[in-house]
Chain A
Amino acid sequence: MTASAELFQLIRCTFRYSGPEQGERPALADITLTIGPGEKVALLGPSGAGKSTLLDLLYQQQPQCSALQPQGGGLVDLLSAYQNIFIGGLDRVGTVAALWNLVRPLAGQRQAITDLAQRLGLQDKLWHSVDRLSGGQRQRVALGRALFRQQPVFLGDEPVSAVDPVQAAELLTYVLQQHETAVVCLHNRRLALDLFDRIVVLQGGRICCDAPAGDLSAEQLDHFYQQDTSPLNPVACGHQTDGWVIRTS
């Protein structure tokens, strides 16, 4: 694969948030990662490992062709599920049409979104404002918005964590079908092994494993999580490399 064919490319990338926590270890350290079109990548790792930050960086590389589903969904509480899904397609309609749609849903969009809601199991909730929905329903609305973006790349941050396991697998399969490329943060190792073809594991802001899903087992993945909680895991080591990063960059 040539370099120009890569969708996402990070080379020795270090990222730290500016703000009061400055001076702590960077959110991401020394990340080298390339993802090409057609790849289905699962990002694993304990909470706080830097998965969401990595996903944001990837989004900034391809904002035009990516559908993003951030953690928490970024929904607008007062608007109905329909409107929240419609927001994903705002760039496909004119401003006047978009404003009119708030008063009276556009017929064509209405049909498309009703079909999508059917698939997401939201058909009864389409006209409820999303503050009245449960966590799982809200997550499906957020997923609906990402799907309605109709982009070739899907970037999801725990897109189905609040949905029941059976439905989660179904929805994730559908999302992967609908997008040529996908990078998805997950906690569910089973889903990662079953549905994705490449698995990247993050730990303390570093990539500690990047391998085809077929080469890994659930036990191996568990191992990464256990390491994090063990006292042997050298957090101090992260601090040392910190200093190094500051000095050179």
Chain B
Amino acid sequence: MKVSTKRWWPSHSSARRLNAVCLLMIGAAVLALLGVDFQRYPVDPWQELSRIGWGLLLPGWSEATTLIQALLQTVAFALLAVAVSTPLGLLLAMAFRWRLVRMLCAALRSVHELFWGLIFMQLFGISPLTGLLAIIVPFSGVFAKVFAEIFEQQSPLPARAAPKGASVFIRTLYTLIPQSWPALLSYTRYRFECALRSSAILGFIGLPTLGFHLETAFKQGQYSEAGALMWAFLLLIASIRWWLRPWLIVPYLIAAIWLLPDTIGFSDGGSLWRFVSVDIWPAALLAGDWHGLLHWFSVMFSQQVWPGVVQTLLLTQIAVVLTGFIVLFTYPFASRALVGPWLRWPGRFVLLVLRCTPEMVLAFVLLLLFGPSGLPVVLALALHNGGLIAFLVANASDAAFRSGQARADDPRGLTRYAYIETPRRLPALMAFLFYRWEVILRESAIMGILGVATLGFYIDSAFEEIRYDRAFLLIVVTALLNMLVDSLSRRMRGAFSQQTNIT
């Protein structure tokens, strides 16, 4: 990382501005290191790691039907959820000028799929509806935001030239949507990949998707079975472009409805009205006991909210900075300009594996190795997000290389990395990193489900103890924290995006 000093990069330099942002982030991460719980537990990671390694190398297929069923159900949830949330997101994006809609979308996406899953589970049990809603609700918010951003980048002229008599909906349908069709499509495709990960992860709270079997296999030490599940999931994601064809989508959707699992346990258990009007509010509030409410709140704040928020923020900060370093160290190995057309493939493969593996699964495996501290969480977040961003950065580098932006006399090796590639990629890299900031925050909160003392830990415990009032308060706090980081990251991106737009 370049460090600017005194007068060599005065304020007329974009590099200095970026470096200042970098330094700020790194400084905050170093401070966070002081306060975070990174305790190592006396487990022998190497023996366990070697067993997991053997499991990955020698995957076992003893229960082929379970494996296939888990895969198909994972795909079914993802397909149906995206099929519903894409049009919903599109409609919301058309109404995005209204502040109320923007706030609603921010609220929807600020709560993680798993938390939505936990909420809906109280109402609908372990049922297909729970799984679908858990993905549809936050994804609609994300789609709305990103689609609205894509619309903003389009030329406003066609819409302005359309007759004013036509409704906004029709005008958008004829102008903005066709204009931005490729961008909408490519984002939806990416989001489907995310939906597959989310769907797999929902297994961790009990739905019969891949995560459920993965958790079971890992907990029972059946690593070759776990290895088979991991490889199958990886192949599934890596081969999306071959099996997801436009003309196959309708048959797939019909098959997906048919494939959804049966409801386990109660199907009409909780009443929505009772849940919203009674269960999620502290008893003291409903009884009008203000003193009791204050007591409830102060106990919650000092024992759960504050420690949870602090741990979540500290882990997020360290994970974001570590992600940045991982990107800087790994993208060159997947870039054609730096390691050549053939040697980049091993690098690309590793990045693809990191990108395909959900953070939660990585964290789960690392937890087995390091015990329940912040360390596995940070590592998992940084590895997954680092792989994802490094893949994008390497692609951008390759695209520039192909487009002939490369000069015949550019330097090679380490100097090329330091003088040409990294400075050219840094603005986009930082933008990606800040985009992922809120995602990393959301993820580090959810990792609490695995036993690390972030906000998710307290939320999960509250659900287990059927104390919905506590869970509700903690989820609201998590959502607010997320919105705060979202707006902060947008501001930070704005600080250096102007200069990237000029060129």
**Residues A95 and B499 in contact in the complex (CB < 8 Å), given A102-B2, A103-B3, A127-B10:** no
Bound complex: CA A128 to CA B11 (Å): 8
Smallest CB gap from B402: residue in A? A19
Bound complex: CA A114 to CA B74 (Å): 62
Please determine whether B418 and A78 come into contact, CB atoms closer than 8 angstroms.
no
A interface, size bucket: 20 to 34
Leading 7 A-B pairs by shortest Cβ distance = A74-B407, A78-B423, A128-B12, A129-B14, A129-B13, A90-B411, A76-B423
Q: Is A47 an interface residue (CB 8 A)?
A: no
Please determine whether B5 and A103 come into contact, CB atoms closer than 8 angstroms.
yes
Please determine whether B413 and A132 come into contact, CB atoms closer than 8 angstroms.
no
Q: Tell me the chain A residues, 70-116 only, with Cβ under 8 Å from chain B.
A: 70, 74, 76-80, 83, 87, 90-91, 95, 98-99, 102-105
Please determine whether A79 and B419 come into contact, CB atoms closer than 8 angstroms.
yes
Please determine whether A131 and B411 come into contact, CB atoms closer than 8 angstroms.
no
New contact pairs (14) apart from A70-B407, A76-B424, A78-B18, CB-CB < 8 Å: A67-B409, A74-B405, A76-B420, A77-B424, A78-B427, A79-B15, A80-B8, A87-B411, A95-B413, A95-B414, A99-B415, A99-B418, A103-B3, A131-B503
Please determine whether A132 and B419 come into contact, CB atoms closer than 8 angstroms.
no
Please determine whether B14 and A132 come into contact, CB atoms closer than 8 angstroms.
yes
Q: Is B276 an interface residue (CB 8 A)?
A: no
Q: Is A37 an interface residue (CB 8 A)?
A: no
Please determine whether B8 and A98 come into contact, CB atoms closer than 8 angstroms.
no
Write the residues of chain B forming the contact surface with A, with a CB cutoff of 8 angstroms.
2-3, 5, 7-10, 12-16, 18, 405-411, 413-415, 418-420, 423-424, 426-427, 499-500, 502-503
Question: What's the minimum C-beta distance from A137 to chain B, rounded to whole angstroms?
Answer: 12
**Residues A99 and B414 in contact in the complex (CB < 8 Å), given A68-B409, A80-B9:** yes
Smallest CB gap from A149: residue in B? B409
Write the residues of chain A forming the contact surface with B, with a CB cutoff of 8 angstroms.
56, 59-60, 63, 66-68, 70, 74, 76-80, 83, 87, 90-91, 95, 98-99, 102-105, 125, 127-129, 131-132, 149
Smallest CB gap from A19: residue in B? B402
In this complex, which of A56, A70, A102, A125 has the most chain B Cβ atoms within 10 angstroms of its Cβ? A102
Interface residues of chain B: helix, strand, loop or mixed (majority): helix
Q: CB < 8 Å: which of A68, A98, A127, A132 contacts B408? A: A68
Q: CB < 8 Å: which of A99, A125, A131 contacts B502? A: A131
Bound complex: CA A51 to CA B405 (Å): 17
In this complex, which of B5, B9, B408, B410 has the most chain A Cβ atoms within 10 angstroms of its Cβ? B408
Please determine whether A98 and B419 come into contact, CB atoms closer than 8 angstroms.
yes
Please determine whether A127 and B418 come into contact, CB atoms closer than 8 angstroms.
no
Question: What's the minimum C-beta distance from A222 to chain B, rounded to whole angstroms?
Answer: 31
Question: What's the minimum C-beta distance from A58 to chain B, rounded to whole angstroms?
Answer: 11
Bound complex: CA A99 to CA B415 (Å): 7
16 contacts across the A-B interface (CB closer than 8 A): A56-B408, A67-B409, A70-B408, A76-B419, A76-B423, A77-B14, A78-B18, A79-B15, A79-B419, A87-B419, A95-B413, A102-B418, A128-B13, A131-B502, A132-B14, A149-B409
**Residues A78 and B408 in contact in the complex (CB < 8 Å), given A129-B14, A132-B13:** no
Bound complex: CA A124 to CA B427 (Å): 25
Please determine whether B408 and A59 come into contact, CB atoms closer than 8 angstroms.
yes
Please determine whether A132 and B12 come into contact, CB atoms closer than 8 angstroms.
yes
Please determine whether B503 and A103 come into contact, CB atoms closer than 8 angstroms.
no
Please determine whether B411 and A91 come into contact, CB atoms closer than 8 angstroms.
yes
Question: What's the minimum C-beta distance from A69 to chain B, rounded to whole angstroms?
Answer: 9
Bound complex: CA A194 to CA B219 (Å): 83
Q: CB < 8 Å: which of A68, A127, A128 contacts B407? A: A68
Bound complex: CA A92 to CA B408 (Å): 17
Bound complex: CA A92 to CA B54 (Å): 49
Smallest CB gap from A79: residue in B? B423
Please determine whether B2 and A103 come into contact, CB atoms closer than 8 angstroms.
yes
Please determine whether A129 and B12 come into contact, CB atoms closer than 8 angstroms.
yes
Please determine whether B499 and A132 come into contact, CB atoms closer than 8 angstroms.
yes
Residues of chain B lying within 8 A (CB to CB) of residue A76:
419-420, 423-424
Smallest CB gap from B411: residue in A? A90
Please determine whether B502 and A98 come into contact, CB atoms closer than 8 angstroms.
no
Bound complex: CA A2 to CA B5 (Å): 55
Please determine whether A105 and B18 come into contact, CB atoms closer than 8 angstroms.
no
Residues of chain B lying within 8 A (CB to CB) of residue A77:
14, 423-424, 499, 503
Question: What's the minimum C-beta distance from A65 to chain B, rounded to whole angstroms?
Answer: 11
Q: CB < 8 Å: which of A78, A98, A149 contacts B424? A: A78
